[in-house]
């Protein structure tokens, strides 16, 4: 279908924008979406491979809603990086549409979002906005749910499901779900009363197979059989052989591993092949990138050194242990063709658009809860979708690795010949529903058990199982628990309101059980370790740090010394059965080590962690201590010590540096430098301007002095 064939059916600005990007005709999924009501506001479920044109379907729906109907549009995605990517693409395509993005602070309300026409948000951020009483929801005419298969993901799926169910209450809002892998797309389309577009169209043909002993056993869908393909190269190691073959075609490779350690080891192993093919210009540019990767932290760690060295050889590893800055540099260098291969965990499996010519899934099992489990078909298909770059490749390749010959057929049957798994709701579980039912009552969205039951019956869980008795049982249990926490109260027979504490807990976006735990802990006489344990022994701080011998012995000592009055016995009085107190205590000690100015490298070795994981824990700790402070204000508990701890966590400093870090551009390193040279306070800075300039440099010293004398 030609783009101009829909001229007159939607604002010409949209057609003009699409044509300006060189798009002159619609792909089959796009054409099907138009035929099934995209332009008339019908709900749609689009299940089609990566790069088949799903984003343009969403774009046309949103732009048409804004320009043609005078309403707002919202784009919701699970990954922050994906939200930012789609935001940047839309803003470039429609610079005249008032567009904004929000993926961060979960305790902020409208912030003027009502003044924008297009909003890009993460799943959790949009849920948080609804909890803050936004007044423009009735003006939203279109909502996009990207990566809709995440509905079946245990930790994040329930929030997405709640959002979709809420939006179903507004029949005038067009809902569009996008996904590459949905085994039961028909069920989802019936649930939200949507037209279903299923397609196997892919602009770049995908060759899928299993590699063993230098041979790729690939599906030939046209011939209906498996064909053998010898791979270029000499290595007997499968992933190196595939790399050699890929590099011989001047293409790039993504390899997925089950663990961070495997990804790093894989990158080291493959680096000898990539560095041989770098041109002088590429080496020069990669040296520059490598140096930036090395100095991404104030003090380079061993991981920084390893990664920088690999980047200079044209290869990198990528996982949650890296800092955001390092990940962004790697992704950007890969897009530019400088980095030839990336060894990654599934951090690159969805979200950012980072395809390669060839993809390998090296590991099809992973440890989960101490059990070695096979990864699912949907995950394999999602990772395979990274193969093949539109505008660059006519064909992409996606391979599994077989350790022995008989494994080839086994992998074929399990993954390549199998259909995607159906999405299953995870909503009907008490811990999952606890936070959502509190939000229903706090928002005054639903205020009695009957209405809550009815809402959940309209959810995907209700659609799949239709078990009204189970839903009623779960709602009874959760409401009774929230009443016991004193977060909701019965104001009339069967009618509930949120207490001030309950409403604030909902706004803070923390688990009510975590909030009740922290409130109980605040009543105790806590020292610094006690307060760090208070925020660490929560669901939000998982995964916890590795248990050290010091943590085991100190945990036992604290419980023995402080007796019944201390918080370490508080968990015996409530149902915190799914917490792991010793690991939580070890996490508290990690935070304490950071506040005591221990070097990142030493913390990493002690707790077997990474810079990215440390900063993730610090970010979570900051949110939890902020939440604790907010709850303390309502409970008339002193907050001074908690505020000091929050500052110390943010900067990684001992208490003696608190005064110095009040000034901008003074962090833990500069504050310590000033302190050991006798500048111990802002008052000392005012008295010693020459000394400050000598220690920090003339320009920075002057900027610091300007702040100090205000």
pLDDT digits (tens, 9 = 90+) for 592-616: 999 999 988 899 999 999 888 999 9
Cα gap 511→534, rounded to integer Å: 14
Cα gap 448→445, rounded to integer Å: 10
Compute the average pLDDT of residues 550-558.
87
Are the CB atoms for 148 and 188 separated by under 8 Å?
yes
CATH number of the domain residue 583 falls in: 1.10.3380.20
Comparing CA positions, the residue from 154, 458, 109, 445 lying closest to residue 437 is 445
Are the CB atoms for 140 and 73 separated by under 8 Å?
yes
Please identify, among 606, 634, 652, the residue that sits at the C-terminal boundary of a domain: 652
CATH number of the domain residue 331 falls in: 3.40.50.300
At residue 221, does pLDDT exceed 80?
Answer: no
Please identify, among 359, 381, 416, the residue that sits at the C-terminal boundary of a domain: 416
Looking at residue 392, its pLDDT comes to 82
Residues 523 and 546 in one domain: yes
Q: Residue 361, Cα to own-chain centre: how many angstroms? A: 21
CA angle 160, 165, 168 (to 5 degrees): 130
* Phi and psi at residue 202, to the nearest 5°: -145, 120
Residues 578 and 675 in one domain: no
Residues 109 and 227 in one domain: no
Residues 292 and 329 in one domain: yes
Are the CB atoms for 536 and 591 separated by under 8 Å?
yes
Q: Is residue 326 part of a domain?
A: yes
Cα gap 120→141, rounded to integer Å: 14
Are the CB atoms for 519 and 631 separated by under 8 Å?
yes
Residues 105 and 36 in one domain: yes
Q: Is residue 48 part of a domain?
A: yes
CATH number of the domain residue 672 falls in: 1.10.150.20
SS3 assignment, position 316 = strand
Compute the average pLDDT of residues 456-473.
92
Q: Is residue 144 part of a domain?
A: yes
At residue 190, does pLDDT exceed 90?
Answer: yes
Please tell me what DSSP assigns to residue 79: S
Residues 221 and 301 in one domain: yes
Please identify, among 145, 175, 198, the residue that sits at the C-terminal boundary of a domain: 198
Q: Is residue 267 part of a domain?
A: yes
Compute the average pLDDT of residues 294-301.
86
Residue partners of 379: CB distance under 8 A and separation at least 6:
346, 349
Residues 499 and 515 in one domain: no
Residue partners of 545: CB distance under 8 A and separation at least 6:
583, 586, 587, 589, 590, 607, 609, 617
Cα gap 605→643, rounded to integer Å: 29
CA angle 68, 73, 78 (to 5 degrees): 150
pLDDT digits (tens, 9 = 90+) for 299-339: 788 899 999 999 999 999 999 889 889 999 999 999 999 99
Compute the average pLDDT of residues 454-482.
93
Tokens encoding 538: 């929560």
At residue 34, does pLDDT exceed 90?
Answer: yes
Name the band, by pLDDT with cuts 50, 70 and 90, for residue 35. Answer: very high
pLDDT digits (tens, 9 = 90+) for 234-259: 999 999 999 999 999 999 999 999 99
SS3 assignment, position 87 = helix
Q: Is residue 282 part of a domain?
A: yes
Residues 390 and 478 in one domain: no
Compute the average pLDDT of residues 366-385.
83
Compute the average pLDDT of residues 143-161.
92
Percent with pLDDT over 90 in the chain: 68
In the chain, the number of structural domains is: 5
Looking at residue 485, its pLDDT comes to 94
Residues 252 and 398 in one domain: yes
At residue 367, does pLDDT exceed 80?
Answer: no
Residues 11 and 63 in one domain: yes
Looking at residue 108, its pLDDT comes to 62
At residue 576, does pLDDT exceed 70?
Answer: no
Tokens encoding 323: 């800092």
Looking at residue 368, its pLDDT comes to 66
Comparing CA positions, the residue from 299, 303, 292, 261 lying closest to residue 612 is 303
Name the band, by pLDDT with cuts 50, 70 and 90, for residue 81. Answer: confident
Cα gap 187→333, rounded to integer Å: 41
Q: Is residue 97 part of a domain?
A: yes
Task: Read off the pTM.
Answer: 0.89
At residue 648, does pLDDT exceed 50?
Answer: yes
Range of the domain at 248: 211-416
DSSP 25-56: B--HHHHHHHHTTTTTT--EEEE--TTSSHHH
Tell me the angle at which helices 430-442 and 157-167 cross, rounded to the nearest 10 degrees: 40
Compute the average pLDDT of residues 162-178.
94
- What is the longest distance spanned by two Cα atoms in the chain? 84
Count the Cβ atoms, other than its own, within 10 Å of residue 172.
10
Residues 602 and 704 in one domain: no
Q: Is residue 553 part of a domain?
A: yes
Q: Is residue 206 part of a domain?
A: no
Average pLDDT value over all residues in the chain: 90
SS3 assignment, position 110 = coil
Looking at residue 564, its pLDDT comes to 59
Residues 471 and 554 in one domain: no
Cα gap 611→319, rounded to integer Å: 11
């Amino acid at each position: 279908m030609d783009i101009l064939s829909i001229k007159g059916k939607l604002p010409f600005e949209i057609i003009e924008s699409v044509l300006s990007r060189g798009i002159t005709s619609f792909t089959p999924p796009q054409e099907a979406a138009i035929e099934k009501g995209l332009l008339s506001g019908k709900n749609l479920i689009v299940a089609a491979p990566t790069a088949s044109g799903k984003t343009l379907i969403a774009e046309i729906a949103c732009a048409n809603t804004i320009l043609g109907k005078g309403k707002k549009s919202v784009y919701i995605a699970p990954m922050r990086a994906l939200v930012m990517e789609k935001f940047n693409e839309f803003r470039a395509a429609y610079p005249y549409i008032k567009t904004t993005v929000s993926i961060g602070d979960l305790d902020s309300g409208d912030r003027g979002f009502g003044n924008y026409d297009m909003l890009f948000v993460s799943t959790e951020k949009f849920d948080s906005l609804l909890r803050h009483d936004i007044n423009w929801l009735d003006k939203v005419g279109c909502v996009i749910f990207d990566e809709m298969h995440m509905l079946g993901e245990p930790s994040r799926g329930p929030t997405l499901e709640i959002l979709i169910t809420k939006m179903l209450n507004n029949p005038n809002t067009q809902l569009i779900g996008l996904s590459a892998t949905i085994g039961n797309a028909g069920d989802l389309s019936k649930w939200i009363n949507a037209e279903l577009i299923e397609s196997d169209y892919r602009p770049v043909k995908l060759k899928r197979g299993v590699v063993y002993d230098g041979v790729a056993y690939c599906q030939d869908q046209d011939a209906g059989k498996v064909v053998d393909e010898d791979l270029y190269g000499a290595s007997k190691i499968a992933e190196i052989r595939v790399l050699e073959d890929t590099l011989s075609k001047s293409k790039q490779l993504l390899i997925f591993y089950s663990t961070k350690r495997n990804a790093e080891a894989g990158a080291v192993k493959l680096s000898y092949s990539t560095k041989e093919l770098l041109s002088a210009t590429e080496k020069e540019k990669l040296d520059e990138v490598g140096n930036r990767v090395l100095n991404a932290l104030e003090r380079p760690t061993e991981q920084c050194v390893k990664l920088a060295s690999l980047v200079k050889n044209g290869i990198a590893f990528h996982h949650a242990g890296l800092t955001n800055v390092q990940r962004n540099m790697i992704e950007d260098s890969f897009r530019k063709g400088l980095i030839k291969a990336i060894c990654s965990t599934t951090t690159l499996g969805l979200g950012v658009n980072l395809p390669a010519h060839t993809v390998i899934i090296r590991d099809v099992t992973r440890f989960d809860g101490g059990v070695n489990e096979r990864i699912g078909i949907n995950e394999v298909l999602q990772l395979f979708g990274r193969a093949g770059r539109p505008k660059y490749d006519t064909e992409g390749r996606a391979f599994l690795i077989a350790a022995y010959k008989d494994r080839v057929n086994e992998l074929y049957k399990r993954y390549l010949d199998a259909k995607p798994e159906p999405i299953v709701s995870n909503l009907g579980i008490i811990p999952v529903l606890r936070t959502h039912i509190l939000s229903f009552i706090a928002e005054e969205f639903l205020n009695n058990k009957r209405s809550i039951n009815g809402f959940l019956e309209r959810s995907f869980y209700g659609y799949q199982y239709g078990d009204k008795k189970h839903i009623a049982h779960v709602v009874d249990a959760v409401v009774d628990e929230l009443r016991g926490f004193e977060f909701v109260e019965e104001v009339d027979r069967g009618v509930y309101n949120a207490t001030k504490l309950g409403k604030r807990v909902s706004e803070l976006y923390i688990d009510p059980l975590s909030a009740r735990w922290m409130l109980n802990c605040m009543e105790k006489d806590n020292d610094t370790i006690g307060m760090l344990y208070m925020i660490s022994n929560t669901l939000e701080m998982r995964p916890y740090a590795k248990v050290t011998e010091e943590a085991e012995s100190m945990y036992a000592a604290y419980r023995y010394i402080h007796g019944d009055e201390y918080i370490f016995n508080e968990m015996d009085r409530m149902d915190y059965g799914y917490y792991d107190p010793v690991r939580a205590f070890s996490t508290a000690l990690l935070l304490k080590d950071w506040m005591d100015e221990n070097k990142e490298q030493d913390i990493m070795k002690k707790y077997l962690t990474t810079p990215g994981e440390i900063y993730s824990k610090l970010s979570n700790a900051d949110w939890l201590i902020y939440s604790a402070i907010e709850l303390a204000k309502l409970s008339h508990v002193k907050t001074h010590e908690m505020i000091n701890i929050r500052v110390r966590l943010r900067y990684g400093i001992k208490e003696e540096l608190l005064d110095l870090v009040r000034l901008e551009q003074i962090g833990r390193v500069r504050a310590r430098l000033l302190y050991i040279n006798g500048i111990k306070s802002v008052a000392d800075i005012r008295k010693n301007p020459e000394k400050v300039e000598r220690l920090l440099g003339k320009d920075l010293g002057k900027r610091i002095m300007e702040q100090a004398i205000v």
